[in-house]
Amino acid sequence: MAKPRAAVKTSLLRRINAGLVLELLRDVGSLTVTEVAERAELSRPTVDAVADDLVRLGLVAEAWQEERRRGRPARRLAFRPEAGHVLAIDVFDEGVRVFVADLAGRVVARAERPVGRTVGRPERIAEMHAAVADVLGRAAMSIDDVLSIGAATPGTVDVATGTVNYCAAMPDWTGLELRTLLESTYGRRAAVGNDANLAVIGERWRGSATAVDDVVFLIAGYHAGAGIIVGGHPVQGFGGGAGELGFLGLWEEVDVRAHSALALQTTEIVAELVEQSAPCAAGSADWRDTHDPSTGQVDTAAVLAAARHGDTEAVQVLQRFLARTSYAIAIVALVLNPELIVVGGAIAKVGDQLLEPLSKLVRLMTANMVLTPPRVVLSALGTNAVGTGALRRALDLVEQRWLDELGDPVAVAEP
């Protein structure tokens, strides 16, 4: 029998209010009921009722403290990050990173295992499971201590099912039902997302894009990919394909002279970049040993070092990379008009040296096309951006589960 409409409305309000209070306590740590009521703009009786629910669920601890003025003791509430832990998995072409964090998102252990680019699905999955075992061992935990899992993968992902619809970065990865695999293996709810989409969530949560509602994270590696947030909401697109920029191979052998103005600007900017830098002591031929885009191997730092050493071929490669990366950023800027574009990926190692040339090219390409060009900044999280977003999704699952239980007044979750 369906619940009466009034009961449904009451349950929904209860859940919304609990979410507001929980988010506030998680961010601040500890507040009195009066302070929570003021900050959340709720009545004190409402906060007291919500606090009773959150204490019962084990998410919040309460204490009573005597106030200096006369009256009843103040009820103080504190978020309990130790009430559980979550697992985040970042699968990428060269390896897998795994994190364990408490409910405040503080990482308590991490592990990473290298995986060859040409490794097939069974071997890659085996390495993923091995990394999970490694990180649980380092955290002195078992899977029973984990409440949920967030996982990131390259490729187009159906977020509703957690299936990788298409992936060109790793052999035999297309069609993998990753969420089903994780849930059946570990017995925990899992959320799976595209790496760039989770990276932008991570940067907005704890990186370069905090408090920014319109932001794009651009992965600048062998290929380009973008994670998009518009109006504070992640954009997945139909079939999960939003932000797939794989057609913009950033290192491909193309003739940028087809865009004569862009070619001239890039040549001048790279020449200025090289001239402003002291010559590199390393031999310029070494960069070809670690940089081979035909095999997916990208080493931006080696290319930049060789260019500064005077290697003509390295200078040309750097010109192509900057031209195509700035072109990708300009496309995103003109189509989405975000406030901020965060750049990560292979560029991260030398991003501080390439950021200004990239920003200058983007300003030149978008001049007279957008009223306010977006700011272009580097990822504050670096290689942890994707994993941080996966952590956030795992925490979302936990909070959703607990808050859903508030729809049933008699439901009690284990602390």
In a domain, 256, yes or no: yes
Check: CB of residue 195 under 8 Å from CB of residue 320.
no
* Within-domain flag for 409: no
Confidence of residue 281 (pLDDT cuts 50, 70, 90): very low
pLDDT tens digits for range 187-234: 999 999 999 999 999 999 999 999 999 999 998 876 678 999 999 999
Do residues 197 and 128 share a domain? yes
Same domain, 370 and 242: yes
Look up the pTM and report it: 0.85
At 357-408, the pLDDT tens digits run: 888 888 888 888 877 889 999 999 999 999 999 999 999 999 988 888 776 5
Cβ–Cβ under 8 Å, residues 222 and 251: yes
* 408 inside domain: no
64, pLDDT greater than 80: no
Specify if 109 maps to a domain: yes
CA distance 415 to 145: 11
Does 156 share its domain with 288? Answer: no
pLDDT digits 0-9 by tens, 341-371 = 999 987 777 778 888 888 888 888 888 887 7
- Regarding whether 330 and 249 lie in a shared domain, the answer is yes
pLDDT digits (tens, 9 = 90+) for 5-50: 444 456 778 888 998 999 999 988 899 999 999 999 999 999 999 9
User: What span, in angstroms and rounded, lies between the C-alpha atoms of 317 and 325?
Assistant: 12
52, 82, 112 - which closes a domain: 82
More confident residue, 3 or 30: 30
Residues 173, 230, single domain; the answer is no
- CA-nearest of 107, 83, 142 to 399 is 83
The overall average pLDDT reported for the chain is 84
User: What DSSP string runs through 144-159?
Assistant: GGEEEEEEEESSEEET
Q: Are residues 152 and 247 in the same domain?
A: no
Q: Which of 22, 48, 82 is the last residue of a domain?
A: 82
Q: What residues make up the domain containing 295? A: 215-379
Specify whether 202 is located in the same domain as 311: no
CATH number at residue 49: 1.10.10.10
Are 242 and 352 in a shared domain?
yes
Do 153 and 51 reside in the same domain of the chain?
no
Q: Are residues 62 and 107 in the same domain?
A: no
Same domain? For 230 and 302 the reply is: yes
Q: Are residues 228 and 372 in the same domain?
A: yes
Tell whether 411 is covered by a domain: no
- Round to whole Å and give the CA distance between 113 and 107: 18
CATH of the domain at 133: 3.30.420.40
Final residue of a structural domain among 82, 99, 123: 82
Token couple for 284: 């310029």
* Bridge-based pairing state of the strands 85-92 and 146-153: parallel
CB 100 within 8 A of CB 86: yes
**Domains contained in the chain, number:** 3
